[in-house]
Structure 1
Amino acid sequence: MPDFPNLIHFAIPFFIVSMLLELYITNKQHIKSYEVKDAFTSIAMGLGNVFLGFLSKGLVLLALFYVYENFRFFTIPVTWWSFVLLLFADDISYYWFHRVSHECRLFWASHVVHHSSKHYNLSTALRQTWSGSFYSFIFWLWLPLLGFHPAMILLQMSISLLYQFWIHTETINKLPRWFEAVMNTPSHHRVHHGSNPIYLDRNHAGIFIIWDKLFGTFQPELKDEKVVYGLVTNINTYNPVKVAFIEWYYMFKDTFSGKKSFGNRLKYLIKPPGWKHDGTGKISDDLRTDWLKKHEL
């Protein structure tokens, strides 16, 4: 098994220095980007994610190795060109994982953690799920099936996560047009974190924004529509345990309470957030359609 370092652990000092630098810059520009309780909640969520990662990583490795050892079509060597292929293969896997995490409530229950802050700064990047890593890996199982070694896959997943750290900032406006056209940037990702109807469920990219443009989920940041961060209905708590599990509670409550058919109970797990069996709920597409009608775009 290739011996690759755990890049996330090595990056922790970089995370700390970057956040301090961002705090200095935003204060100098009189931008209130940080709020103490919110930032500490994000950091607590990140530490919890790292701790639980020791448990989930065993499960992920077991699943990846099981597919690799028993079902792989090819044996792809560990070399420079295979990492180039893996860069794109991993990134499209991330795109579909991320998109489904917004369109299926079972996955949203864990991903909502990352969107629960009403602030947008580098500490927000650390606001990671405590539950998602135990089942989100299914979107990557096709990679060992093709023949990519599990250690390569885990390394590339870490590289993707590291790339996405720096785009959680308001200190960078727009980058050169060619870069904005191909890569995920702070501007693109600010849109993704917006609760404005026009911004909901857009820009699911990890590293390359090309997937959103290809699959119809791209939305540029609009000059006359300032991003409002957070959720459509914010959870308003700094308690890390509540942040981690409150949506699981609401989802199971909707699923198992009241008089509903088995089909409707199941739909509370697989339909998008906001869906209700009696037709009173509104999902992101509904909110966006209403917004577009109102603004005649």
Structure 2
Amino acid sequence: MEAYANLLIIVILVILSLVIVEALYAYFVKKIKLRTMDMITSLSAGMTNILKNVLGLTVVIFGYKHLFIQFAIAPLDIQWHTYIIAIVALDFATYWHHRLAHRVNIFWNRHVIHHSGEEFNIATGLRQSVSKFVNIAVFFLFPAALLGVPTEVIIMVTPLHLFIQIWYHTTHIGKLGWLEYIIVTPSQHRVHHALNKIYMDKNMSPVFCVWDRLFGTFQEELDEEPCIYGVTRQVNTWNPILINLAHLWLLIKDAWRAKSWLDKLRIWFMPTGWRPADVKEKYPITSADPRNFVKYDTEASSLLKAWSWVQICMLIGMTFHLLYAIAKIGNPDIFIYGVFLFFMVYCFTSLMDRNRNSIWMELVKSIFGLAIIYRMGSWFGLDEIINGGTIFMIIYLIASVFVVGYFVFYEIGKGKLKA
């Protein structure tokens, strides 16, 4: 776990650097104004996904090693070509796993967060699921196991494979000529994130676009059809935890409301978007129209935006602390830290949504944090890394209640910001 956490620190630093470079380019060169709340939602979604992964909060039925032992025809020697075979096999597996997420109701829940962003930038690539409670991706690695790709090679290749899927989340790179026939490019992935009818459920390859071309899911980006980003059932919240659970909650409600027991059971495994006829008629849901698309937005003062940036910076800083000191913190305290950070995300993104209950959430968060310090005598040993770290955390926890109180009771409560 410690080695994985250290690797994540490096990956996060590289990705955050890319986010900053793209944002600066967009602002100073393209004169595009940054949408603060959308960016912060993407970053917070990325942090919660990292926390989930490092804390091992996904049930794995069985790992790749089991597949390898049971089905490998002849184990391959670890040479340079073994890594190439592994990347191709992993790419093939990811394509089908990705395609399943787009085609089956229950699996769409774990992927909707990635498509929820109504902007398209590097930060959007960080919108990853925390609602993937059971990992079934290993089933799609059967061809790799059959070919005899060693477990240690898959372990080494997987983080790299994920990382190289970040760069193409951008609108600032056009079509790339002959590369369009080999790899997934920004142009192709813009299509994938678009909700235009012609673009829906297209371009699902992760690295090599050959899978889309072979299996009929390829669509070129058209000049006459600009991409509109987001999902047809707009999530209308900045809260990544709510976004992660939105589709699941809809399925639960529809299954409960359906009269037919068959519908109650099959709704989970029907094509994405399918709803029982009686429920659909009684409880209609308006789908977004790309021709008249209105992005979700909330009124926010410069102070609220600044405070939201403070909160995301605190979240990133504390996540780094958890990853850096994970071995020293140990069990069960790493999970207590994780719960605090998840609740922190819920609190500050609820304020971004102008939720009046944010003040009570913030109060609970601060009491929780102060209780941790009282129990441990410090903030998870932060003083060993930064002198006065615990004092700083105490000041932050107390001050945040008053700051959030200002926004809730003055800017929202007195109409300075419309609630």
- Fold similarity call, TM over 0.5: yes
Is contact 2:254-2:279 (8 Å) kept? no
Q: Spell out, residue by residue over 1:157-209, the C-alpha distance to the aligned partner (whole angstroms, 9 max, x if none).
A: 2122111100000111121x210111100000000000111110000010011
Shift of 1:27: 1.0
Q: Spell out, residue by residue over 1:228-279, the C-alpha distance to the aligned partner (whole angstroms, 9 max, x if none).
A: 00001211101121012111111122223331132x2232111222212329
SS of equivalent residue, structure 1 residue 158: helix
Is contact 1:53-1:133 (8 Å) kept? no
Q: Which residue of 2 aligns with 1:17?
A: 17
Q: Hey, what's the Cα distance between the residues in 1 that align with 2:67 and 2:78?
A: 17
Greater Rg, structure 1 or structure 2? 2
Q: Hey, what's the Cα distance between the residues in 2 that align with 1:190 and 1:161?
A: 18
Aligned-partner residue type, residue 151 of structure 1 = E
Is contact 2:58-2:135 (8 Å) kept? no
181-190 vs 158-167, which moves further: 158-167
Q: TM-score, structure 2 length as denominator?
A: 0.62
**For residues 244-283 of structure 1, what are the structure 2 equivalents within 5 Å?**
244-262=244-262, 264-278=263-277
Q: Which residue of 2 aligns with 1:30?
A: 31
Specify whether residues 62 and 270 from structure 1 end up closer, same or farther in structure 2 by C-alpha distance, changes over 3 A only. Answer: closer
Q: Hey, what's the Cα distance between the residues in 1 that align with 2:157 and 2:133?
A: 15
Is contact 2:251-2:268 (8 Å) kept? yes
Q: TM-score, structure 1 length as denominator?
A: 0.85
Q: Which residue of 1 aligns with 2:193?
A: 193
Aligned-partner residue type, residue 128 of structure 1 = Q
Q: Spell out, residue by residue over 1:21-70, the C-alpha distance to the aligned partner (whole angstroms, 9 max, x if none).
A: 111111121224x3111111111111111111124488549522233334
Q: Spell out, residue by residue over 1:116-136, the C-alpha distance to the aligned partner (whole angstroms, 9 max, x if none).
A: 110110000111001227324
Percent of aligned pairs with the same amino acid: 32
**For residues 1-297 of structure 1, what are the structure 2 equivalents within 5 Å?**
7-28=7-28, 29-32=30-33, 34-56=34-56, 59-60=59-60, 62-132=62-132, 134-142=134-142, 143-175=144-176, 177-262=177-262, 264-278=263-277
Q: Which residue of 2 aligns with 1:284?
A: none
Q: Hey, what's the Cα distance between the residues in 2 that align with 1:132 and 1:72?
A: 28
Q: Hey, what's the Cα distance between the residues in 2 that align with 1:123 and 1:133?
A: 23
Q: Which residue of 1 aligns with 2:378?
A: none
Is contact 1:56-1:133 (8 Å) kept? no
Q: Hey, what's the Cα distance between the residues in 1 that align with 2:58 and 2:73?
A: 24
Is contact 2:191-2:202 (8 Å) kept? yes
Q: Hey, what's the Cα distance between the residues in 1 that align with 2:149 and 2:274?
A: 38
Is contact 1:109-1:248 (8 Å) kept? yes
Is contact 2:46-2:127 (8 Å) kept? yes
Ranges in structure 1 where 5+ consecutive residues have no aligned partner: 282-286, 292-297
SS of equivalent residue, structure 2 residue 32: coil
Ranges in structure 2 where 5+ consecutive residues have no aligned partner: 281-286, 292-419
Specify whether residues 147 and 212 from structure 1 end up closer, same or farther in structure 2 by C-alpha distance, changes over 3 A only. Answer: same
Is contact 2:259-2:278 (8 Å) kept? no
Q: Which has the higher relative contact order, 1 or 2, with Cα contacts under 8 A spaced 6 or more apart?
A: 1
- Please tell me the root mean square deviation across aligned C-alpha atoms, in Å: 2.5
Q: Hey, what's the Cα distance between the residues in 2 that align with 1:54 and 1:149?
A: 23
Is contact 1:205-1:211 (8 Å) kept? yes
Shift of 1:74: 2.5
48-57 vs 218-227, which moves further: 48-57
Q: Spell out, residue by residue over 1:54-109, the C-alpha distance to the aligned partner (whole angstroms, 9 max, x if none).
A: 24488549522233334433322222111111111111111111111100111101
Is contact 2:184-2:209 (8 Å) kept? yes
138-147 vs 120-129, which moves further: 138-147
Q: Which residue of 2 aligns with 1:294?
A: none
Is contact 2:52-2:130 (8 Å) kept? yes
Is contact 2:59-2:133 (8 Å) kept? no
Q: Hey, what's the Cα distance between the residues in 2 that align with 1:219 and 1:279?
A: 34
